[in-house]
Amino acid sequence: SEDHGSLLLAEALLEECLKENFAKLKDSIPLSEKSEPKLSDAKHYLTNILSKGKLRPKYMTEAMLILGKLHYVEGCYRDAISMYAKAGIDDLSTKDEPLYVLRLITEAFVIKGLSLERSTNSIASRARLCEREEEVMACFERACVIAQVYLQELEKTLNNTHSRSIKGSNVTYSEFELSYFLEAALQSAYVSQLKKGNIVKGMRSLREILRTVETKATQTFKMVREWEMGGWGMLLHSLSEDCYWSPLSDPLPEFMNKEYQSYVSNLLCRRPELYSEENSVFLSWFLMPHLCCAQANRDAVISRAPEQQDDRAVSLQDASAVYDLLSITLGRRGQYVMLSECLERAMKFAFDEFHLWYQLALSMVACGKSAYAVSVLKECAKLRPTDPTIPLLAAKVCTGSLHWLEEGEHFAKMVIDLGEDAGESLAKGYLALGLTYSLQATDATLKSTQDELNKKALQTLERARDLAPEDHQIIFYLSLQLALVRQISDAIDHLQEALQLCKDDMNSLHLLALLFSAQKHYQHALDVINMAVVEYPESF
């Protein structure tokens, strides 16, 4: 009984040490006994238990599994592999075993795979290296399957316990928080396959995880992985759209040639429960955007209480990952209206979060909701008052589709007021202000007002040109303004300068033809038009 108590204490000490050093564990930084007394005590207890050998074989095996885990976090990968060989993990059964044993076996297989991966440098033979890679994949695949069985059985157990407990019970779902090794068990198989270029195997492995009946522990994991994989996210990382295949079809032959049989298909007597194929395809292609966003919104921590700051940061990070992939996916399909609607629902937990606000603004600009976009850009400007690109975009929207010239002037002056802090955008700020003055002059009814605004537009555009003498677009607009006030010769001189910087700019060629025509140089105008039509045959 004393040794059994030492076994439980050793595991508790090890788990506390891992929890305290999660960041190091994630970055694969080995832990030292000298700096971690809990690790040292756990190792002392486990070595004493194994040297005495008084426990029943079942508990001796558990001690070996825990010690193998300890060797791994110390960076002693060969010792970890050796300890798992002594425990005989390849022959351990998962049938009718208690939950904690399933967890230990899951961790053992994933740690063995990770240890083998980190021990390949000493292998000289190519054939032996291939055998080692196959052994690694076998460990990862078995770990993945057993992990899913464990999490499903754990949820069933806690649900039954909760349903039988009295009102006010303290049964919670804190047990469902995925540990580092359990999450590694779920994703190491498909990550390793994709890194090695085994696209078919990697995609099938991940699709299998997504089809598994989910638990509370895997909801956040699956929410992000669904977008990495399910609709188009995987295409963005590994495949072109022409190479993609749906879950019910076969991949291209060139991919099939690299396919090989699963190592564990006939080895495991227990496999996780899966959703049906029909349900999986419908989920993958139609409901996934809405489900992912709904789950991100549901799990968001809205409270601004100081004690919930860490939880709020984690939920925001998860939600941002989903919405980033959503933006890429729907943007590529031109579904900007749907994207803006999804992002609008994210605003409830996006207080002071610039990234989500700016994503919303861009989606509204793209789908034509210009007035809403300007309102959102105003909020973005408050969050980042020193970023000149935000008022520049707002000025462009105002002077373009909305024709809100006073608001456009206001946003352009915001950029200019930043001075040297605006950097290269300062010239663009003067350009935006000059265009605003020019448009206001066009709308003015009094000749004196028109002349005054045209003069201000010309001065502002010349200032922009002084700041960016190599910007052909600024020179083009300066030339256009000169043309509007009938200074045709000066306009042609500036336009030729713009064409020297960018010889095939369509707008500059168009304006040059108009200016030649205004001076009655019709042959020159026709030559420019013929040259431009050859360069841009699709331009009406």
Residue 181 · residue 14 · CB < 8 Å: no
What is the CATH architecture of 2-158+178-246+263-268?
A: Alpha Horseshoe (1.25)
Query: For the stretch 53-90, what's the b/e string if a residue is b when 16 or more beta carbons lie within 10 angstroms of its beta carbon?
Result: eebeeeebbbbbbbbbbbbbbbebbebbbebbeebebe
The per-residue DSSP string of 117-139 comes to: HTTGGG---HHHHHHHHHHHHHH
Quote the pLDDT of residue 168: 41
* Domain spans in the chain, listed from the N-terminal domain onward: 2-158+178-246+263-268, 385-468, 470-539
Please report, as a single letter, which amino acid is at residue 124.
A
Check pLDDT > 90 for residue 230.
no
pLDDT tens for each residue of 280-319: 444 454 456 666 666 666 666 666 677 777 777 777 777 7
234 confidence band (pLDDT: 50, 70, 90): very low
Which residues, 6+ apart, have CB-to-CB distance to 356 below 8 Å? 319, 320, 323, 343, 346, 347, 350
Helix/strand/coil for 305: coil
- Residue carrying structure tokens 């992912």: 292
Give the residue carrying structure tokens 């709904």.
294
DSSP calls for 75-89: T-HHHHHHHHHHHTG
pLDDT above 90 for 502: yes
Q: Do 519 and 495 meet the contact criterion of CB atoms below 8 Å apart?
A: no
Q: Considering only CA atoms, which of 425, 72, 94 is closest in space to residue 269?
A: 94
Do 83 and 64 meet the contact criterion of CB atoms below 8 Å apart? yes
Residue showing tokens 């045209």 = 454
Range 211-234 average pLDDT: 55
**Helices (H) then strands (E): counts for the chain:** 26, 0
Please state the φ and ψ torsions of residue 212, each to the nearest 5 degrees.
Answer: -65, 135
- What residues pair up with 274 in beta bridges, in sequence order? 212
Look at residue 465 in the predicted model and tell me its pLDDT: 96
Nearest by Cα to 146 from 71, 200, 89: 89
pLDDT at 48 over 90: yes
Phi, psi of 124 (to 5 degrees): -95, -35
Spatial CA neighbour of 346 closest among 331, 330, 361, 367: 361
- Domain 470-539 CATH (choose: 2.40.50.140, 3.40.50.300, 1.25.40.10, 1.10.150.20): 1.25.40.10
Q: Are 192 and 137 in contact (CB under 8 A)?
A: yes
What's the chain's length in residues?
540
Q: Which two tokens stand for residue 540?
A: 């009406």
Cα–Cα distance for residue pair 424/436, rounded to 1 Å: 20
Q: What are the structure tokens assigned to 372, written together?
A: 């809403």
**Sequence-separated (6 or more) residues with CB below 8 Å from residue 441:** 449, 450, 453, 454, 457, 484
pLDDT surpassing 80 at residue 51: yes
Confidence of residue 93 (pLDDT cuts 50, 70, 90): confident
The pLDDT of residue 263: 44
Structure tokens at 429: 């700020």
